Amino acid sequence: NAGVTQTPKFRVLKTGQSMTLLCAQDMNHEYMYWYRQDPGMGLRLIHYSVGEGTTAKGEVPDGYNVSRLKKQNFLLGLESAAPSQTSVYFCASTYGPSSYEQYFGPGTRLTVT
Amino acid sequence: AQSVTQPDIHITVSEGASLELRCNYSYGATPYLFWYVQSPGQGLQLLLKYFSGDTLVQGIKGFEAEFKRSQSSFNLRKPSVHWSDAAEYFCAVGARSGNTPLVFGKGTRLSVIA
């Protein structure tokens, strides 16, 4: 049981490049989340999903897109990376809405130059 | 919508001293309340949670938190801090209905000195 995994762990992009971050969970969780963490800003929710085939915007969705084609995977895409997207990205999953514990992945450190 | 405030950005305590991290929330009713811990380079891990009932909840690693409705607070405590407790701590509040995601505070970084 691997829990929540994130691929890749580190990435450096040039401004304007695109990339996809992959989050996978093996706990049969319905809900999945993408956060970014920046110094002094805490965790900010980018997008989330309440089930396979669904997505919703969080607090800071601009510049990102997501897809949840399979229940176990939640993809975060950056179509044209900007330096402001330099951050640590965390994925989390949970069985249901906010009464349930969220399980977090180890994070992806992204630098955009 | 719910919100949460952690007034202290950084706290330093001596090993063996007691610890209290503050958390205040805003919500129209009694929310779900959580404390998570993040060790350096890691994701977040749940320490404890409050849903209902006893207002003093026990968590892992010797932590406890007390829900005080009158003060809209959910402060985290530990009687004797260990060097391994150095980490960032996040309070989170969840709504009791709907699919609204948890709202996290900005975190409190704990440093432990000898």
Name the percent of chain B in helix, strand, coil, to the closest 5.
10, 50, 40
Q: What is the model's pLDDT at position B87?
A: 97
Residue B3 β-bridge partners: B26
CA distance B12 to B101: 31
- Residue B105 · residue B21 · CB < 8 Å: no
Place of tokens 């992009």: A13
Average pLDDT over residues A23-52: 95
How many CB atoms lie under 10 A from the CB of residue A11? 17
A10, A99, A103, A108: best mutation site toward chain B, by most B Cβ within 10 Å? A99
On the question of pLDDT at A1 being above 80, the answer is: no
B42 touches chain A (CB under 8 A): yes
B38, B44, B88, B93: best mutation site toward chain A, by most A Cβ within 10 Å? B44
* Backbone Cα Rg of chain B: 14
**pLDDT tens track for B4-30:** 999 999 999 999 999 999 999 998 888
Q: Are B46 and A4 in contact (CB < 8 Å)? A: no
3-state secondary structure of B88: strand
Q: What is the model's pLDDT at position A96?
A: 83
Place of tokens 């991290």: B21
CA distance B8 to B87: 14
Kind of pairing between the strands at B108-113 and B10-14? parallel
Q: What is the model's pLDDT at position B69?
A: 93
**pLDDT tens track for A53-103:** 999 999 999 999 999 999 999 999 999 999 999 999 999 999 888 778 899
| Sequence-ordered list of residues with C-beta below 8 angstroms from that of A84, at least 6 positions apart, any chain | A63, A112
Q: Are A98 and B46 in contact (CB < 8 Å)? A: no
| Sequence-ordered list of residues with C-beta below 8 angstroms from that of B47, at least 6 positions apart, any chain | B34, B35, B36, B37, B59, B60, B61, B63, B65, B76, B89
CA distance B34 to B46: 7
B40 touches chain A (CB under 8 A): no
Place of tokens 């110094």: A39
